[in-house]
Amino acid sequence: MKRAILTERHKLEIKDVPEHRSGYGEIIVRTAVCGVCRTDRKAYGTGQRDLSMPRVLGHEIAGVISEVGDGVAGYRAGDKVVVHPGLFCGECGECSSGFDQLCGRMRILGFHEDGGFQEFLRIPRDGVKRGIAITMPEGLSFSRGALAEPLACAINMAESMRPHKDDRLLIIGAGALGLLTAKLWRSRGVDDITLTDTNETKAAIAAELGFAARPAAGDVRREEYDAAVMCCPSSNAFGTAAEALKKRGRLGFFSGLTGPALETKTVNLIHYHELRVFGSYGCSIENTRSALALLDGKIAIEDSLVHRISMDELEDDLRKLERGEIFTHLDFE
């Protein structure tokens, strides 16, 4: 089987290796589709806090169970599954209260353990026990299944920010997470949604999907919005979001910042305007289950937003941080 191994930064090796066999309590998943997201590009280019190398990246995984090890109950070869990438302990305080994405003993597929940029994936015994292979709804495509993880991240944020139908929402960054956030909030009755992106193609796509869109964050009006969600890592955008919010507005903060430190005047707006700031990192397994249900019903993703690539095109794709495509799928089918 083929696997793409990140041996060091900027170096991806495609290797042909013997297929995995399932050990006791394990299952093997044949990968059908694995999403390639901005976090993978960051891991490839600059590394990431939770990444150790050599590593097979990829954490947005949908596929079919090809082998079930001894001692496994509840799964059969042929089951279509989405793999939740978080191997959480299931016992600590965070896990017990449903915030397993914050588990102190977390190992994430594609960061601490090998992920989905390979033809077959081994789900370790503790992952099988925690149910990280989640059976897909009948009839849902693998391509939609692979969107469960990013949508689950948007759900995690929305759980904290609590969308209200009268909200005016600003989203900075009209990439994958920005659009999924927009679609999620719309599915919860929020109509007034504006997306901004410095990339004109992305702004145009957001407009085509019926959202208000602006080509740059700089021209959003001040103190107009009830909620702002940053779907980009720029500290300038944090400033724009804070200024765009009404007093007591809610600011969602998805991505670790790159670039210069926040300005004091931005941070002080949190104080003077009583802004409420919500951080969010990844998603719980419950968020992933909810995402799958939404993708099977309320949230439709247009095929034209999905760009498909093969293993041979993967490294070229990982090099491109700024791009026009919204979702990229490594397609094994």
Question: Helix 176-187 and helix 148-161: axis angle, to 10°?
Answer: 60
Buried-exposed string 59-87: b where 16+ CB fall within 10 A, e elsewhere: bbbbbebbbbbeebeebeeebbbbbbbbb
CB of residue 18 to Zn ion, shortest distance in Å? 28
| C-alpha triplet 229, 230, 235: angle, nearest 5° | 145
> Where on the chain is the footprint of Zn ion (CB under 5 A)?
37, 39, 88-89, 92, 95, 103
CB of residue 223 to Zn ion, shortest distance in Å? 33
Q: Which is nearer to Zn ion, 1 or 92 (CB)?
A: 92
Q: Which is nearer to Zn ion, 88 or 225 (CB)?
A: 88
CB of residue 165 to Zn ion, shortest distance in Å? 29
| C-alpha triplet 182, 325, 111: angle, nearest 5° | 85
Stretch (H or E) spanning 299 = none
Transcribe 119-167 into DSSP letters.
SEEEE-HHHHHHT-EEEPPTT--HHHHTTHHHHHHHHHHHHHH---TT-
Token digits for 216?
Answer: 């740059």
CB of residue 94 to Zn ion, shortest distance in Å? 5
- Rounded CA-CA distance 37/152 in Å is 14
Q: Which is nearer to Zn ion, 39 or 66 (CB)?
A: 39
Q: CB of 89 within 8 A of CB of 103?
A: yes
Strands 80-83 and 60-68: antiparallel
Q: Which is nearer to Zn ion, 39 or 194 (CB)?
A: 39
Q: Which is nearer to Zn ion, 20 or 329 (CB)?
A: 329
CB of residue 184 to Zn ion, shortest distance in Å? 16
Q: Which is nearer to Zn ion, 63 or 69 (CB)?
A: 63
Transcribe 205-272 into DSSP letters.
HHHHTT-EEES-GGGSPTT-EEEEEE-S-BHHHHHHHHHHEEEEEEEEE-S--BSSPPPHHHHHHHHH
CB of residue 37 to Zn ion, shortest distance in Å? 3
Q: Which is nearer to Zn ion, 103 or 220 (CB)?
A: 103
CB of residue 262 to Zn ion, shortest distance in Å? 24
Token digits for 4?
Answer: 């793409």
Place of tokens 């901005």: 38
CB of residue 176 to Zn ion, shortest distance in Å? 8
What ranges in 11-100 are assigned the alpha helix state H? Answer: 38-46, 93-96
Q: Which is nearer to Zn ion, 225 or 332 (CB)?
A: 332
